[in-house]
Amino acid sequence: MKKTVVGLTGQSGAGKTTISDAFRENGFEIINCDIVAREVTQAGNECCKELAKLFPNCFDENYSLDRQKLGEIVFSDKNKLQMLNDTIYPFINKLIDEKINAAPSRFILLDAPTLFEAGADKLCSVIVSVVADFGIRLERITKRDGISAELAKKRFSSQHTMEFFKAHSDFVIENNGSVNDTFQKTCEVIETIKERYNGG
């Protein structure tokens, strides 16, 4: 069975959850890359042992990761963020590929905030990006993650711009309106994808 893998990515705070829910309700199996990342960084895993060589202060003797401490380090230093990415993404992509192959559904949504950074776009048939205005994203992410506006802006600065997402995606959903409006936009995109890949 040939599978259609849709890569869902976009800006922090753009609101991928609503889009992901729409895909789920339209029969897509969801692979959440944040969950995959947590699986590969469970205490004692090989990935943690490799990361501990680079960020020893972020691990205890059992190779258990302090995510907040690691985040504070990498979001303020682009070189260290790159070191993290170069180490963790091969582990993540290997597990994603295994999950895609094991999935019973023909249509799969890869919910991946760092799809391009990880090189996971190469696993996808279609790329859908979610974008939103800066002020809206800032409000959403400070409420969602309970972080300061300053920390949220640092996180934004380490990510791709709206122009990048628009240039590298098959579909772009602007999520500045209501949940219902965004859900409807997403359903229209899903219908187009299914028609294109003979699933509609």
Q: Which residues contact 181 (CB under 8 A, 6 or more apart)?
A: none
Q: CA-CA distance, 190 to 196, in Å (whole number)?
A: 10
| 122 in a labelled binding site | no
Neighbours of 15 (CB within 10 A): 22
Token pair 């597990």 in the structure block, residue:
95
| 132 in a labelled binding site | no
| 17 in a labelled binding site | yes
| 120 in a labelled binding site | no
Bridge-based pairing state of the strands 126-131 and 4-10: parallel
Identify the sign of the CA torsion 107, 125, 163, 147. positive
Q: CA-CA distance, 16 to 66, in Å (whole number)?
A: 25
| 13 in a labelled binding site | yes
| 18 in a labelled binding site | yes
Beta strands in the chain (DSSP E): 4-10, 29-32, 107-111, 126-131, 171-174
Bridge-based pairing state of the strands 4-10 and 107-111: parallel
Task: Tokens for 22, please give them.
Answer: 């729409």
The annotated binding site for ATP is made up of: 13-18
Q: Which residues are annotated as a binding site?
A: 13-18
